[in-house]
Amino acid sequence: ALQEADLEALHRHVNTLKGSAREVGAVKLGEAAQSLEALLNVGDTTNSLQKLRQLETLLGEASQALQKLAAEE
């Protein structure tokens, strides 16, 4: 189970990721981060873990897309 301190840190990181994703145009990633943040706000750790896995997948996809863009420049 996630400890309260872990949840607080996760919430901060998810909030930061949400903003960063939006800045670079990673819409799906930003939306997933927002969805996870909403679950964390109400203490829904069960569904938060599922959303976190989805967020990890989208983060990997966004990272690959950004690397491809950087290579093209």
Question: What integer pLDDT is reported at residue 1 of this predicted model?
Answer: 47
d(C-alpha 39, C-alpha 12), whole Å: 13
d(C-alpha 60, C-alpha 73), whole Å: 21
Question: What integer pLDDT is reported at residue 24 of this predicted model?
Answer: 87
Q: Would you say 59 and 29 are in contact if contact means Cβ atoms under 8 Å apart?
A: yes
Question: What integer pLDDT is reported at residue 21 of this predicted model?
Answer: 93
- Identify the burial level of 10 via C-beta atoms within 10 angstroms of its C-beta, where 0-12 means exposed, 13-18 middle and 19 or more buried: middle
Question: What integer pLDDT is reported at residue 2 of this predicted model?
Answer: 61
List per-residue pLDDT tens for the chain, 73 residues long.
Answer: 467 778 889 899 999 999 999 998 899 999 999 999 999 999 888 888 889 899 999 999 999 998 998 998 7
